[in-house]
Structure 1
Amino acid sequence: MYESMFSKGLIDLKNKSASPNELFDSVASVAHEKGYASQDYEKGLEDRESKFPTGLIFPSLTLALPHVDPEFIVKPFIYVVRTDTALAWKQMGDMKPMSTRNFLFLGIKEPSKQVGLLAQIMAAFKEQSFVDSFLRTVDTNKMYSLLTDQFTKISMN
């Protein structure tokens, strides 16, 4: 099931990172320590994001979906991070500058499932009621419930 991609231990709604590199370090440390990502995951994030930015602008929020090549992933995950301050980012596709506090780090082992996962995420963040709930949620358990309720259709293993 898709919700197995989420873990309460991979939800950080009060991240103190002040730059993308700090954020990558923070996320990579936890993902590696918990057995989700390889030791080189941080470098993989930095390299991929510099070549293929992942920022998206929706009507009511900005979001980034950083991800890496499958060799950096030990087991599939989605790591949800909200930073205390907005970080400078680049938009997917055109590389125009933007900023965001909302991140879904996608740990994908099966590249063939990436398109389906991205489609699900795009659809969810186009639903205003989901976006409102996502932005309002500050509790880890409630965020976990919101996301697992929303995303139940795709198997990522």
Structure 2
Amino acid sequence: MSGNEVAGLRAWARGDYGCEAAVELLVRGFGGRFAAAGWPWLRTDESSGSWWVNPDAITAEAGVLSSGEQAFLILVAALGGGPAVADLGGVLARLDREHLGLVLAGFAHAGGSHEHTVIGWTDAGVRFDRPGPLLDWPDLDFPAVA
């Protein structure tokens, strides 16, 4: 996975919290290998250098991978606009602790928790706070891209 691929995927997803979460999961999970060129769900336009994710290709092509990898990618596809997950509990149960933590942070991001405002009342009046994400992205070893 190159910095250009990651930057391109993040640029494509920017502004759609579900797609942003899907891209971060691809980049951070399993050492980032599912965000590398060559997977059928990653698309590029050679002339512009833009990248995007095809969630339908994830669900169609992930069947050759391990159970945990499939579960992870099923959730990536759902967050990226692909098919809904019918058995969410069953899919989550197939994840190891590391990837479950990533998925939970992805759900918090997709839900917009990083943008929430909390209203509080003080003696001086109304106060608006931005508490940050409900659950932050875990600090894992993954290719860092600015």
TM-score of the pair, normalised by structure 2:
0.30
More helix by share: 2
- Structure with higher Rg: it is 2
**Which protein, 1 or 2, shows the higher relative CO under an 8 Å CA cutoff with sep ≥ 6?**
1
More strand by share: 1
